[in-house]
Amino acid sequence: MLFLLKRELEKRQVKTIVQMCFAVIAPALVHLILVPITIWCLSTIFREQSYGIIKTLTFTLSNDLVKLLLIYSVFIGWLKYLENKRPKEEPEKQTLSSQYLVVSSGKNSTRLDLSDILYIKAATPYVAIQLEDKEYLHSESLKSIATKLDARFIRIHRSSIVNIDKVLSYKSRLNGDYDLVLQDGTEIRLSRNYVNDFRSCYVSNHPTA
């Protein structure tokens, strides 16, 4: 569970108190549910009389809930501590002096001008780099390629990054998410988890918006 939680936190940004509480409570509840199910399965296989799921769940809740919440809280706090300890001289994005991105697929390598890129999406085991007239598949993870982009590129979903200069407008889906309208007419989803960061970046790049 800790391994899965670490992987999920690497994909999502946990900034608010509500998000932090959810990140602690959700895995703890899953843990509590999995314990009686696992014990019931094992006892059914290896014992003549199996342990009841409800009885085991009640016992686990009364004895382990506080301990689990504490363990997951400490674990998340430790991850946040390591994140804050990351050296400042290792920026997440390159400066604007790096205007190109070299992408490779198989034996082919192509140099792309960053200003031509509309957005980048995860397409496991590749990333799909979308230009106005062509799409490139690149052999790299989205997290890794993000470190090679400059400040005009912003995360809008755990599986996509957009060039803020290519965004014409955005409109609400009335469920917390938004649709971004790009210069070529393409619409791409903005997840509610990234709305605040997107708005700040969009306003700074479009002062009259």
How would you write 65-98 as a 3-class SS string?
HHHHHHHHHHHHHHHHHHHHCCCCCCCCCCCCCC
Q: Which two tokens stand for residue 134?
A: 């062509």
pLDDT at 65 over 70: yes
Domain boundaries, the chain: 2-84, 100-205
Query: Nearest-CA neighbor of 35 among 72, 55, 60, 52?
Result: 60
In sequence order, the 6+-apart residues with CB closer than 8 A to the CB of 1 are: 27, 30, 31, 34
The second-level CATH assignment, the architecture, of 100-205 is Beta Barrel (2.40)
Q: Which two tokens stand for residue 78?
A: 């430790």
pLDDT at 85 over 90: no
Question: Could you say which DSSP state residue 148 is in?
Answer: T
pLDDT in tens, 99-123: 889 888 777 788 999 999 999 999 8
Spatial separation of the C-alpha atoms in residues 174 and 171, rounded to whole Å: 9
Task: Provide the pLDDT confidence category of residue 92 given band limits of 50, 70 and 90.
Answer: very low
Q: What is the pLDDT of residue 32?
A: 83
How many CB atoms are located within 10 Å of the residue 45 CB? 8
For 117, list phi and psi in degrees, rounded to 5.
-80, 130
Task: Provide the pLDDT confidence category of residue 86 given band limits of 50, 70 and 90.
Answer: low
Which of 192 and 21 is assigned the larger pLDDT?
Answer: 192
Q: Which two tokens stand for residue 9?
A: 């936190």
Lowest model confidence (mean pLDDT) among 81-95, 138-152, 172-186, 189-203: 81-95
**First-to-final CA distance of the chain:** 43
Task: Kindly state the average pLDDT of the residues 24-39.
Answer: 85
Q: What is the pLDDT of residue 124?
A: 84
Q: Which two tokens stand for residue 27?
A: 């895995």
Task: Kindly state the average pLDDT of the residues 28-38.
Answer: 85
Q: What is the pLDDT of residue 207?
A: 60
Residues in the chain: 209
CA atoms within 13 A on the CB side of 119: 26
pLDDT at 91 over 70: no
Decide: 197 and 161 in contact? Cβ < 8 Å: no
Task: Provide the pLDDT confidence category of residue 97 given band limits of 50, 70 and 90.
Answer: very low
pLDDT in tens, 112-166: 999 999 999 998 888 999 999 899 999 889 999 999 999 899 999 999 999 999 9
DSSP3 helix / strand / coil % (the chain, rounded to 5): 45, 25, 30
Average pLDDT, the chain: 83
Task: Kindly state the average pLDDT of the residues 4-14.
Answer: 72
In sequence order, the 6+-apart residues with CB closer than 8 A to the CB of 87 are: none
